[in-house]
Amino acid sequence: MDEQEIIARYFGSHARQRKDVVLGIGDDAAITSLAPGHDLVTATDCLVEGTHFLPGCPARSVGHRALAVNLSDLAAMGAEPLWFTLALSLPSADERWLEQFSSGLLDLANGFRIALIGGDTVRGPLSASVTVLGQVPGGGGVRRGAASAGDGVWVTGTPGDAVAGRLAPEDLSGLPVENSPEEASTPAGRKAAVEYLRARFLYPAPRVQAGLALAGLASSMIDVSDGLHVDIQRLLGPRGAVLDAGALPLSPALRACRAGDAIRYALTGGDDYELCFTVPAGREPEVVGLRERLDVPLTRIGHVTDSSGVGWLLDGQNLEVPDAGFRHF
Ligand code: ADP
Ligand code: MG
């Protein structure tokens, strides 16, 4: 298979037609039209074999994650994702791998009704770079570093699951994205809990709906990729926070499988792709109202302080948390 055949077979036939795609795959570049009065929001993330995923990682998961991590970045800006491009470097044209990679990628894209509008396909070490393009109403992007003292600090979902799933030894590839855990006291229950944790690592669910709902409400927002503790510091910039580790939303599966490590995983594990955000005190009831219509937990874990430094308490005692999130260099 040559480059043109790979594009045509696995990516060029991505049928999702959006009215705002003037020209999609097949020409020298794509043309799209942005809604009037909106700002363009762009994010790129590169997944490299050996750095971001291990050799032998299910290709479906690599395809899913390559797009999911970018959708998570757009969610953290409060943006609506619209289009994406894919730069793929492959050691060989492995049809089975391409089939699974493209279905992981395009199933997620179809779920959010976004269109693959172009890319590049080259021979080389295995890597996948995705760029997602989206929009916010003019001036409406939610940034880091804009929280005020007294704002509540909130998090979506249940951080810590992904690292537990990454470290789980069982080979449980090809699982559904969200697989709720059963009571983990029986062998079957434990297997279901481990499968749930593995799926949380292999198939993260980007919090796009939550990000959109929080635009205009959150004073600042970030997505948690390197670990909650380091990412909260990036979120707050010059400010600090007092946070309650006892308030952390831990999944039943994480509690069941890794009770002793659960809080440490939630604070320093990474790969969560949950949103962490701040909300002015007077508007926190609106976040509580959102819980009804979003299918993801929203949990308040503390508040922003004027002085720098992010401090964690557990049962009223100070909890030492290392700054060691995931570091690339
Ligand atoms: P060029 O030589 O001008 O870069 P290519 O032959 O690389 O053109 O690409 C032809 C068309 O296919 C372009 O529209 C390009 O955006 C698209 N394309 C190439 N690789 C991919 C891919 N992996 N996914 C989606 N579109 C792709
Ligand atoms: Mg090209």
Atom of ligand 1 nearest to the CA of 25: 14
Q: Give the residues surrounding ligand 1 with Cβ less than 6 Å away.
A: 7, 11, 25-28, 86, 88, 116, 118-121
Predicted confidence at residue 186, as pLDDT, reads: 75
3-class secondary structure per residue, 146-168 = CCCCCCEEEEECCCCHHHHHHHC
> Which residues 6+ apart lie within 8 Å of 292 measured at CB?
none
Predicted confidence at residue 178, as pLDDT, reads: 39
Longest dimension (CA), the chain: 62
Ligand 1 centroid – CA 122 distance (Å): 10
> Which residues 6+ apart lie within 8 Å of 98 measured at CB?
6, 9, 10, 59, 90
Predicted confidence at residue 325, as pLDDT, reads: 59
Report the relative pairing of strands 309-314 and 240-244 from DSSP bridges. parallel
CA distance 300 to 290: 13
Q: Considering every ligand atom, which ligand is closest to the CA of 3?
A: 1
Ligand 1 centroid – CA 87 distance (Å): 9
Atom of ligand 1 nearest to the CA of 26: 14
* Tokens, residue 34: 């942005």
Neighbours of 5 (CB within 10 A): 12
CA distance 155 to 157: 7
Predicted confidence at residue 182, as pLDDT, reads: 46
Predicted confidence at residue 257, as pLDDT, reads: 86
| Ion ligand 2: residue ranges with CB closer than 5 A | 120
Predicted confidence at residue 239, as pLDDT, reads: 97
Nearest CA, atom 16, ligand 1: 118
Ligand 1 centroid – CA 38 distance (Å): 27
The pTM assigned to this predicted structure is: 0.93
What is the best residue among 121, 127, 131 to mutate for testing ligand 1's pocket, by most ligand atoms within 8 Å of CB?
Answer: 121
Neighbours of 30 (CB within 10 A): 19
For the chain, residues with pLDDT lower than 50 are 171-182
Nearest CA, atom 19, ligand 1: 120
Ligand 1 centroid – CA 143 distance (Å): 32
pLDDT digits (tens, 9 = 90+) for 43-102: 999 999 999 999 999 999 999 999 999 999 999 999 999 999 999 999 999 999 999 999
CA distance 215 to 79: 8
Predicted confidence at residue 302, as pLDDT, reads: 98
